[in-house]
Amino acid sequence: MTLSKLPNRIFIKLLLGFWLCSSLIIAIVGLLPLLQQNHDRAPLPPHLANMLVRVADRVSIRLEDGPQAINTSRFKRLTHIRDRNDKPVRFYIADHQGRVINTHKVSRGLRRFMLMADEAERPMTHQFKRELIFGPYEFDVKGEKYSIYGRLADHHPRPWFFFFAENKLLTLSLAIILSGLLCGLLAWHLGKPLRTLKLSADALAAGDLTSRVDKATTKRKDEIGQLAQAFNGMANSVENMVQSQQRLISDISHELRTPLTRLQLALALARKKGQKSAETERIGYEAEQLEQMIAELLELSRVKLNIHDTKHLVSLNETLSQVLDDADFESSQQGKQLLIDIDDAIAMPTSPRPLARAIENLLRNAIRYAEHQINITAQFSENEVIITIADDGPGIENEQDLKAIFDPFYRPQTARERESGGWGLGLAITKAAIDAHQGQIIAENIQPHGLKVTIKLLS
């Protein structure tokens, strides 16, 4: 039989878990009446049997004078016996018709016991709440049959299961709680590794390519352990492919710089020899654009390859000081106002260079498209730092572009012109830098017009 035809191990765990849980509860609840019955109708102990025989011998002598003789005070003294614990024992004499002849006060418990003993057809004991009744012992006097019963009128401790047998609602509640605990334990056993898998998958989807399922989960012998091993194998492959892709981009960019440098050198020599023309100027312009694009590709590749570098606790103002000074100068040169509101106390673990580059790209975009004013603020909110950059420019007309603008080489329709739209790498670099800090970046239009970009970073 192949492994594929064997029962699923998770199926076996679920089946056995719920089956054993329900069987255990049913068995416990079902055994309580049986335990109670076996205890209540216990065989007659020897010391109680001997006590009945002794009293029966005494009673036999008195009954020879007739049944009326057992009501005398002398008879009561003869049957005044104490048990081993020095507790008084009271005896009841019944005739062949089951009538108690030595007293008119017969308790309900004794009546019940007489019926139980008659049904059992043997001497026995029965533990009531406040009395222990035992018997009967049968004897003959002048051809008449008599039975004698004993009663210990005292509170005797009862086994623990009597409490549950007499309190059925409480027993049912405890059974439900116990089954819930057992099922909860099974659910935890199966759910914990699944939660670990989910967290690892979420981390991988968020860009953490080093995320793996822990060893405790991969060492399980069931399908969850096999799934965890498969997930780690997939994560290794994804990480290798992404890193290979980034290295390829980086290597290609480096290799492109060599012929580009030669092209620029050839242009410089041509200009020096007086071979300057509109065509050579165009070639020079395109070479400069190509140089800038290669530089941005290298920056994007560098940020993504170093996404898990060690972070350092640095003041946000210190990290952005040069970027803010440059942005303030650039905005003032264009007749625009940059408003800065960043608390000096804000400090968090960062990679200063990628974060500064990310904020610089956002500020340059905001300054480029703003009409009069640009705002940058940073504040604490619970366990994160929120940085917002807003401008009063035209915003982005198409709402679908608000998420896509952070993709490499993507440019909104309104920014297709080479002079204003670039190559769509600046915001991709920004998002890569924010991802490296396990943060979030969101763009949204503001009313009446303008664009606001919000960055959330763990503090």
CATH number at residue 125: 3.30.450.210
- DSSP-derived 3-state class of residue 414: helix
Tell whether 211 is covered by a domain.
no
**H-run or E-run covering 88:** strand 88-94
How far from 387 is each of 313, 353, 432, 454, CA to CA, in Å? Answer: 17, 17, 16, 6
Q: How many CB atoms lie within 10 A of CB 302?
A: 17
Catalytic residue among 80, 96, 156, 254: 254
Collapsing DSSP states into helix, strand and coil, what is residue 142? coil
What is the tally of structural domains in the chain? Answer: 2
Whether 275 maps to a domain, the answer reads no
Question: Whose CA is closest to 196, among 240, 161, 147, 229?
Answer: 229
Give CA angle at 167 (161, 169), nearest 5°: 125
User: How many C-beta neighbours within 10 Å does residue 1 have?
Assistant: 5
On whether residue 4 sits in a domain, the answer given is no
Q: Which domain holds residue 437?
A: 312-458
What is the CB-side half-sphere exposure of residue 416 using CA atoms within 13 A?
2
Q: Among the three residues 162, 186, 212, which one is the final residue of a domain in this structure?
A: 162
The residue among 162, 185, 220 that closes a domain is 162
DSSP 181-214: HHHHHHHHHHHHHHHHHHHHHHHHHTT-TT----
For residue 142, the model assigns a pLDDT of 84
What is the amino acid identity at position 439?
G
pLDDT of residue 331: 92
- Could you give the residue ranges of the DSSP H alpha helices within 90-222? 108-120, 160-166, 168-205, 215-218
Q: Is residue 48 part of a domain?
A: yes
Examine residue 302 and state whether it is found in any structural domain, yes or no.
Answer: no
Per DSSP, the three-state class of 412 is: coil
Residue corresponding to tokens 């896509």 = 404
Tokens linked to 171: 């027993």
Q: Which helix (H) or strand (E) holds 135?
A: strand 132-141
What pLDDT was estimated at residue 330?
Answer: 92
Chain length of the chain: 459
Last residue of a domain, one of 105, 138, 162: 162
pLDDT of residue 37: 58
- The predicted structure's pLDDT at residue 160: 58
Residue pair 151/89 in contact by the 8 Å Cβ criterion: yes
Residue 229 lies in a domain: no
**Is 254 designated active site?**
yes
Query: pLDDT of 47-61, one tens digit each?
Result: 888 888 888 888 887
- CATH code of the domain in which 373 resides: 3.30.565.10
Residue 200 lies in a domain: no
pLDDT of residue 422: 57
Give helix 352-369 / helix 278-305 axis angle, nearest 10°: 130
271 occurs within a structural domain: no
Q: Show the low-confidence residues of the chain (pLDDT under 50).
A: 1-6, 415-421
pLDDT of residue 3: 43
pTM for the predicted model, two decimal places: 0.50
